[in-house]
Amino acid sequence: MNYERRGSGTPLVLLHGIAHRWQAWEPVLDELAEHHDVIAVDLPGFGLSPAPDSWPDSVPGLAALLGSYLASLGVDRPHLAGNSLGGALAIELAAAGRARSVTALSPLGLGTTTESWWGFGVLVEHRVLSFLPEAAIRRVVATPAGRRLSMAMIMSTPDRLTPERCAGDALAMRRGKGFRPVARMTRGYQLPAVTVDVPMTIGWGDRDRILLPRQAIRARERLPGARHLTLPRCGHVPMGDNPSLVARTILETTGAVVPN
């Protein structure tokens, strides 16, 4: 499993969403690393992590596989922060007793059938476009207007991305061998109603265009023991829209800083 590791202290593992890579967390890595041993992973089949020999057939199965990978690093019960699919994986690991705390940002598994197909359709459209010639992709994302056009469904402030980062994300989406098997296992997935005895925060960007903000209402119903926050002016990947807010939200959950 490929990962980026920075800092020292109690371990904090960062989990990205479908078709993304560890670089999704780059805007918050250094601030988090001031307090924790931060491990930002490429999930199996994404980024530079190879696909497993045999794919699990469910999100809980993928969480168990991820837990085994983390155990091989000597990381048994870390703090977890996840976005989208990563948020669902973090909650599944917490339900299995394998987390010290959980921060889930727009976690997968709370949509109706229509909402889930909408989010899946947006991701498929982005992946189809990622198969354009690399030179064409780089021309589009070379300008702020092009980055807004290509990433507006993902972030509320896509022009904050560098051209290289934007092109790299598109190419990683194209190359990700995990897209199809993970998409299959997440189809119809519903986040379980769980009660865990560790701190848990659910954050939702009020400009999330993939997993729509009204799903946060269901999160409150299904996870009543969690702290629930709205992330103002943030899209589906809020780490890039408001790094300081996301970093503080995670650190408040881990107990590294005191909530305001």
Strands 101-105, 227-231: pairing is: unpaired
Q: Is pLDDT above 90 for 259?
A: no
Average pLDDT over residues 144-158: 93
73 phi and psi, to 5 degrees? -90, 0
Q: Is pLDDT above 90 for 260?
A: no
Annotated domain spans of the chain: 3-115+178-254
Q: What pLDDT was estimated at residue 74?
A: 92
Structure tokens at 150: 């290509």
E strand or H helix at 238: helix 238-241
Q: Find out if CATH 3.40.50.11030 is the number for domain 3-115+178-254.
A: no
Nearest to 96 by CA among 64, 57, 58, 65: 64
pLDDT tens track for 11-27 = 999 999 998 999 999 99
Cα–Cα distances (Å) from 64 to 135, 215, 226, 249, in that order, read 39, 25, 22, 26
Q: What pLDDT was estimated at residue 194?
A: 86
What is the b/e burial string over 238-254, where b = at least 16 CB atoms within 10 angstroms of the residue's CB? bbbbbbebbbbbbbbbb
Average pLDDT over residues 121-134: 94
Cα–Cα distances (Å) from 157 to 42, 149, 228, 234, 249, in that order, read 23, 11, 23, 8, 19
Q: What pLDDT was estimated at residue 196?
A: 86
Q: What pLDDT was estimated at residue 239?
A: 97
Coil vs helix vs strand at 217? helix
pLDDT classification of 3: cutoffs 50, 70, 90: very high
Q: What share of the chain is helix, strand, coil (3-state, %, to 5)?
A: 45, 15, 40
Q: What pLDDT was estimated at residue 243?
A: 97
Q: What pLDDT was estimated at residue 87?
A: 98
Q: What pLDDT was estimated at residue 51?
A: 95
Average pLDDT over residues 146-164: 92
Q: How far is Cα 189 from Cα 201, in angstroms, rounded to an integer?
A: 21
Nearest to 232 by CA among 166, 157, 158: 157
Q: What pLDDT was estimated at residue 130?
A: 95
Average pLDDT over residues 24-52: 97
pLDDT tens track for 230-252 = 999 999 999 999 999 999 999 99
pLDDT tens track for 94-124 = 999 999 999 999 999 999 999 999 999 999 9
Residue 117 burial (CB count, 10 A): 12
Average pLDDT over residues 164-191: 94
Structure tokens at 96: 């299995």
Q: Is pLDDT above 80 for 199?
A: yes
